[in-house]
Amino acid sequence: MKRKLYLIHRWLGIVLCLFMAMWFFSGVVMMYVGYPKLSHAERLAALPELDGVNCCATLEQWLQAAGRDGEPAAVRLTSVAGRPRALLNYGRAGVVALDGVSGLRVDGVGADDALAAARAFMPGVPAFHEDLVDEDAFSHSKALDAQRPLHRIQMADAASTRLYVSARTGEVVRDASASERGWNWVGSWIHWLYPFRGGVTERFWNDIVTYSSIAATVLALLGMLVGVWRWRFSGRFRSGSRSPYREPWMRWHHLLGLLFGTLTVTFIFSGLMSMNPFKVLDSGAPKVGQQQRWQAARFTLPAREALRRLAASGFEARELEWRVVDGAGYFLAWDGQGRTRLLAAGGEDGAQPFAAFDIARMRALGGAMLASSKVTEASVLSEYDTYYYSRDAHTMTGGMKHLPVLRLKFDDPHTTWLYLDPSSGAVVKQLDGHQRAKRWLFALLHSWDWAPLLERRPWWDLWMIVICAGGMLISVTGIVIGWRRLRP
């Protein structure tokens, strides 16, 4: 039996050690350079203030011009090339873009329009249209699916920024500097096996990542088992060592495996958990946010009047969202610093912008979302907890999260937790038991986003680099051993 396990470990190592070395090296790159994305804060900072004097067509005009059955799931007023643009999201039916002032539908965005949007996004910077693509190495994200195809616009700034402009809405949806693009070839792009995205291998990408991660986890576990079997805990070999290997590469592979084996296993296994293999982390719990249905009848206050009231209160709105909270319509406004204001949209006389909903109202609203279950704990968090926390903007789950939030725990079969943001009235996070388990099996073991480490950098950096360096050294010694086994 041992002989068979030795052979399985040997041949799995020959096949997978290159992959594992690549994963550990690219993991270090990703600590400092993430996959390109345009953060919410960056996008808001580039938008002009919405003009309440010259804007806008009515909501009814937008809905009629959209020409879709049913009501949209969301409505947002933003700016494209310095001009107001309404975006009506119909879910799977796609996003409809309309000129915010005239109410006319925008059916496709050409190269000239994309250039105008890019120049407004980065004023004073020369822009050049490259081409129109559905997807490329830096735009694989599913979040962009509703925006495709994408115009690629090259900006002549010092960072050699490439902007991606949606051919459907005209929005700038992604930016990627030359430095980000360069490092991503040896960072996120290779770490996530994106060479298999696109073309004939696209539909197999998920399986390729999942099964290669399973095989690598088995390889690492077998390596630990073999390493322990071969280590002499009592007595020594003739060489005076507790390891039977005299050849340097074999010896170092054995010793490094014993030293870093556990961390190597957890790193590879946690990467596997990020893929949610075979849906093992799905609980089937319904999304409570789906219970807040959008209805045009809830919004009788014109957007023009909403912008006027926001401006009169000293708030420079750069984007406006139509939201339903507790059965009533509200405008959610954003300024260039990511701050928000709320305004009742039901036509109430004298309604004025306000910063946040009352906590008691949010408590009642959250409890009603799972009316068949009891709230076992309600807490107002003024600091992040283990499951609701912030990471650097470039990381996969990065970005600032609002505080304070209301956390509700329920006694339902899925042991649901809800995090409600009083500044927007939205459920910003929903967790069940399976998702909390994923937080430990993936987020902690893979990137060690543990508050005592994250708050004490560079200790987090050193810990992560040690893990990746140990795993990479194991892999490199395995590559050499495998090459020697295969060569004539």
- What are the φ/ψ torsions at residue 319 (nearest 5 degrees)? -155, 145
pLDDT of 424 above 90: yes
The lowest-confidence range among 325-329, 348-352, 362-366, 416-420 is: 348-352
293 pLDDT more than 70: no
Distance of alpha carbon 76 from alpha carbon 380, whole angstroms: 29
- Mean predicted confidence (pLDDT) in 114-142: 96
**How sure is the predictor about 476, in pLDDT bands with cuts at 50, 70 and 90?**
very high
Q: How many residues does the chain have?
A: 488
CA 123 vs CA 45, 119, 303, 319: distances in Å: 12, 5, 27, 19
In our burial notation (b when 16+ CB lie closer than 10 A, e otherwise), range 327-360 reads: eebbbbbbbbebebbbbbbeeeeebebeebbeee
pLDDT category at 286 given cuts 50, 70, 90 is confident
List the strands of the sheet with 417-421, edge to edge: 375-381, 405-410, 417-421, 426-431
Question: By three-state DSSP, how is residue 100 classified?
Answer: coil
Mean pLDDT across 93-104: 93
pLDDT at residue 486, rounded to an integer: 87
Q: What is the pLDDT of residues 208-267, one digit of tens each?
A: 999 999 999 999 999 999 999 999 988 888 888 999 999 999 999 999 999 999 999 999
Using CA atoms, how far residue 263 sits from 51, 233, 270, 285, in Å, is 55, 21, 10, 32
Q: What is the pLDDT of residue 290?
A: 54
CB-count burial class (<10 Å; 0-12, 13-18, 19+) for 142: exposed
Q: What pLDDT sits at residue 289?
A: 67
Residue 72's Cβ-count burial label (10 Å; 0-12, 13-18, 19+) is buried
Show Cβ contacts of residue 360 under 8 Å, excluding neighbours closer than 6 positions: none
Residue type, 333: A
- 215's tokens: 């095989």
How large is the average pLDDT for residues 41-68? Answer: 92
Q: Mean pLDDT in the chain?
A: 93
Strands, DSSP E only, in 41-166? 74-80, 83-89, 95-99, 105-106, 127-133, 150-155, 162-166
pLDDT, tens only, 165-192: 999 999 999 999 999 999 999 999 999 9
Burial 273-299 (b: 16+ CB within 10 A, else e): bbbebeeebeeebeebeeebebeeebb
Q: d(Cα 313, Cα 432) in Å, to the nearest integer?
A: 40
Query: d(Cα 310, Cα 312) in Å, to the nearest integer?
Result: 5
- Predicted local distance difference test score (pLDDT) of residue 60: 93
14 SS3 class: helix
Per-residue pLDDT averaged across 298-324, rounded?
A: 94
Q: What is the pLDDT of residue 93?
A: 84
H-assigned helices in 195-328: 205-230, 248-274, 303-312
With cut-offs at 50, 70 and 90, classify the pLDDT of residue 348. confident
Which band of pLDDT confidence, cut at 50, 70 and 90, is reported for residue 347? confident
Q: For the residues 13-34, what does the mean pLDDT come to?
A: 95
Domain edges within the chain: 2-33+199-281+457-486, 360-431
Question: What pLDDT was estimated at residue 291?
Answer: 52
Q: What is the pLDDT of residue 189?
A: 96
Of 80, 60, 90, nearest to 169 (Cα)? 80
H or E, element range at 471 = helix 459-486
Q: Name the nearest CA neighbour of 38 among 428, 401, 393, 424.
A: 393
Both tokens of 467, joined, read: 């893990």
